[in-house]
Chains A and B, each alone.
Chain A
């Protein structure tokens, strides 16, 4: 019965996670529209079904059945490939996140995590880095000035936020002593890491905003300057895939924050998966909240901010963490 543990269960888990993320994406768009509407003294979608719950389905059908327009001047292969390039890493990154305490079914212990690898912390960073190719090449292959500027901004952005982001995670590793996600969650049984690493949390969250191209760092898109940036030339389902990638990235980053800093599925009374869901939802709400209340920064200001403020801060945080851990452990 070895194949059940090695093949069947992981395959089922992968399918469940993928479908879960797609449904999560669909209802995240609705939630964002609803929440933003309340911020803006409006109601938001409320016509398709009760509370507009069928709105995402209507949107998806519209995107799928739209006429496919591929402009003449684009690099066709890359142009079609890029939405997929952006989408796949976004889903992949979720694989290492534990969503609840392990359960036992018919003698098989099932961890609620697709893969518990020993470099779990490095994996989402590496995969998310790949997602930028979709945007850069998408903007490049569109052969449009606005898209090109959007794509170039992505490259400027990625080299700005990745360093402080990685440094903030290194201090986390020093505290927990493990790169394994399940280990980090277990470490937080008593105390979430946000208490021990408040600065690391802030750095990671700000960088998370930049990584997901969300306001105030949505430079590749910037609808007010670059029309729609890298995806100006995209329409229909290809545009929807880019859109999907952005929202799934947002869910992944929220889930990572919940796992790494807020204690993951650990929590009293309620079941683990519900705690995980609540913490992720709170972080997603913060994403929308930020979008509704902050103006957009300028991309060179983000570079200044990351290189001249966040990176030194992350280094200081790292050194202080290392020193304290060294002293406490003798």
Chain B
């Protein structure tokens, strides 16, 4: 849709809700509308339902605390919207005054706002009026304060996690526990009296980390399932505010540690968008190769662990998947020196050019991979027990999935072909010829099929990329952003100064705010950066795909058997490091 239509839409919005739009700004091609809190719900409803708008995908809700800039009003709630039919983004900002601001909840419009609003309440202290269940999501219930606020004390410990020996609970410490004491179970208030409530996790073999799911069972049929997250919350967003832009990068590796390259990619794209730099073509193609190899690696981990959930620890497929992934890990080690957390994709390009052995290694891998892929597919596709465990299990419709903000293979399995690589191509993905596989039923089996086909498409992309890989530099030549080459340091005083400035201080991007998203193996991973012009991000919000996708688990599980719960959790493909961040 042309820009004029877009402007007409905004004009119509202003005409329909006079006084609602308090401001409009444009930065790096992103539109931000400032909306008054009183008008938020009708404006959102208009934006979702109007046939010319159809902003049906809510990427995230978060809050920004402007107090360190001395700005009034202190807070702002931020809503990142995306219109799947028109392929365009829009950001809403609601300025909120006061120490304990309140804003109307949009859960009725986008059900996926539920967890995002809880997170904004938990970490930023913004209250959402009309939210069905506004309680802390990441931090313990007894936590004091909201850590993402700028005036939150650093280094203190409001809730004592360091036990002291005077604590009566620790009397038996160091002695043998001969009388294990049983704790009476706590039933969730929503549970019906005749049901059995099972606490699945946080220590459970099949929750893929420290996820806790409270499951209400009638016999073995699931009546309700409430995922409970936050056990792995590590405060990356807060940490990022105290690191320079370059220093934040390694933290992104550690969120979705199964797909570190794509995490790097999203962050780097957001910072580069903020800086407005161009990346040389060789670096772009290298990034594509890395991201697609990472997708293969992540999907291999997924197929192995999913099968492990549905069979048992002895099932051999996990090791076949990991043996295949090993080749990819070796390639990553070759280019970056690290296997799991490479931090290879850097702001301004990639860390260093690939060694001469890289292209042959990738080609060798591409030759062997289809055989592994076929073996794995045959082991499952032709197995009636496998089919009976995944077909028709955990199905959701396209409307439900979009409403919940679900992205990635889980969304595509419902038939919606939303893939950031096609919808908003980045890093020259538009040069490649590949298909976006979709399913029809949105059940565990379709998710499996979509991911298996995605692996084939990734192989296609890598093949084309290897053929296209141009010669040339792998970093942009802006000395304010990337280090000068080592040789220059010996001869050029200017290069030495740049190097010194970059190491001690970092670079200063212009003030503004950007959102950049990439298609990670699990879905849309996005980074929203607010810059105040300083060398450190003023606010970094990470939109993790697993976080949004996991919200759908409760809906998927209803009415299925307890055994299917592990199939559903497995088929969503979560990494708790990225859910909790």
Contacts and interface: CB of A to CB of B under 8 A. Distances in A.
Nearest to A156: B220
A72 B183 CA distance: 10
B372 to A, nearest CB: 12
Given A69-B178, A225-B206, A299-B563, 17 more contacts: A36-B314, A40-B318, A42-B319, A69-B180, A71-B180, A145-B196, A215-B311, A215-B314, A223-B313, A224-B309, A224-B313, A294-B385, A295-B310, A295-B385, A296-B563, A297-B389, A298-B564
B239 to A, nearest CB: 34
A293 B566 contact: no
Contacts of B198: 145-146, 149
B129 interface: no
A329 interface: no
Interface string B196-210: 111000001110000
A59 interface: no
Interface string B314-358: 111011100100000000000000000000000000000000000
Contacts of B177: 69
Interface of B: 176-182, 196-198, 204-206, 220, 307-316, 318-320, 323, 379-380, 383, 385-386, 388-389, 561-566
Contacts of B179: 72
Interface string A31-58: 0000010011110000000000000000
A291 B204 CA distance: 21
6 contacts: A71-B180, A72-B179, A223-B313, A225-B562, A294-B385, A301-B388
Contacts of A296: 310-312, 385, 389, 563
Question: 7 closest pairs, A vs B, by CB?
Answer: A40-B319, A295-B311, A73-B182, A39-B316, A224-B206, A292-B316, A295-B310
Contacts of B309: 224
A53 B320 CA distance: 27
Interface in A296-320: 296-301
A298 B563 contact: yes
A42 to B, nearest CB: 7
A245 to B, nearest CB: 18
Contacts of A211: none
A41 B320 contact: yes
Nearest to B219: A152
Contacts of B197: 145
B284 to A, nearest CB: 36
B307 A295 contact: yes
B181 A294 contact: no
B152 to A, nearest CB: 38
A216 interface: yes
B383 A295 contact: yes
B563 A72 contact: no
A67 interface: yes
A293 B204 contact: no
Contacts of B313: 223-224
B310 A224 contact: yes
Nearest to B183: A73
A246 interface: no
A293 B307 CA distance: 10
B316 A40 contact: yes
Nearest to A216: B385
Contacts of A293: 315-316, 379
